[in-house]
Chain A
Amino acid sequence: KAGVTQTPRYLIKTRGQQVTLSCSPISGHRSVSWYQQTPGQGLQFLFEYFSETQRNKGNFPGRFSGRQFSNSRSEMNVSTLELGDSALYLCASSLRPGTGAFMNTEAFFGQGTRLTVV
């Protein structure tokens, strides 16, 4: 069973550009969450998608957006890149969103995309 796949693994972009990252969840998993990991702030939640709908959003500016396709693959987009956006972007795959009766749902991470903004 394939794990969570994120592409690309590394990206270097210039300030002001935009970037799109991709995440393919584990087969059969329908929930994809995105996290930003930095040395100073640790792992911070960006948003979660389930059945092509954004279910939950963290405290990030509107420059950060995402979407999910019918095959559960998800993309996140960052527009007007800033130096502070340099980070490891991780996606996590779950069978279902972790709410209600499914609050115990396990989440499995991809390898991440290392974004460097220069």
Chain B
Amino acid sequence: GENVEQHPSTLSVQEGDSAVIKCTYSDSASNYFPWYKQELGKRPQLIIDIRSNVGEKKDQRIAVTLNKTAKHFSLHITETQPEDSAVYFCAARGSQGNLIFGKGTKLSVKP
């Protein structure tokens, strides 16, 4: 079935360093890829998304890249800050319309 794999499951960086989270999807029909940030006890919050007709999208310190041929997409966070600490989920929209989520990456930014 449709699947999204996300790596790594945990990531620890020093404040100011960059963080990269990678996802792979299986459904070649997917063309919408959102990223969510979930802080402890809070709702998943949409932070950025990318459509399949675009290879890269940036929003301040956050960027996403998409390689449709390889079915890979990645989240890049530069100049990380302690408030970036959270669980990040990638997702791909399946052919039936629902979002298929990766298992999440717990990012810890150490001051």
The interface of chain A, by Cβ under 8 A from chain B, is 4, 33, 35, 42-45, 48, 55-56, 58, 90, 92, 97-99, 103-112
Residue of B nearest to A96 (CB): B97
Q: Which one of B42, B45, B98 contacts A56 once the chains associate, using CB atoms below 8 Å?
A: B98
Q: How far is the CA of A43 from the CA of B38 in the complex (A)?
A: 12
Do A104 and B98 touch (CB < 8 A)?
no
From A33, A42, A108, A110, give the contact of B98 (CB < 8 A).
A33
Give 1 or 0 for each of B21-63: 1 = CB within 8 Å of chain A CB. 0000000000110101000001111100101000000000000
Q: Are B89 and A103 in contact (CB under 8 A)?
A: no
Whether the Cβ atoms of A112 and B43 lie closer than 8 Å is yes
CB distance from A53 to the nearest CB of B (A): 13
Chain B residues near A55 (CB, 8 Å)? 97
A4 to B46, CA, bound (A): 13
Q: Are A107 and B43 in contact (CB under 8 A)?
A: no
Query: Closest B-chain residue to A48, C-beta based?
Result: B98
Interface residues of B (CB under 8 A from A): 31-32, 34, 36, 42-46, 49, 51, 89, 91, 93, 95-104
Contact A109 B98 (CB under 8 A): no
Contact check, B89 vs A109: say whether CB atoms are below 8 A apart: no
In the bound complex, residues from chain A placing their C-beta under 8 Å from that of B95 are 99
Which residue in chain A gives the minimum CB-CB distance to B2?
A: A45
In the bound complex, do residue A106 and residue B89 qualify as a contact, i.e. CB atoms below 8 Å apart? Answer: no
Chain B residues whose C-beta falls within 8 Å of the C-beta of A109 in the assembled complex: 36, 43-46
Contact B101 A42 (CB under 8 A): yes
Closest-CB distance, A2 to chain B (whole angstroms): 14
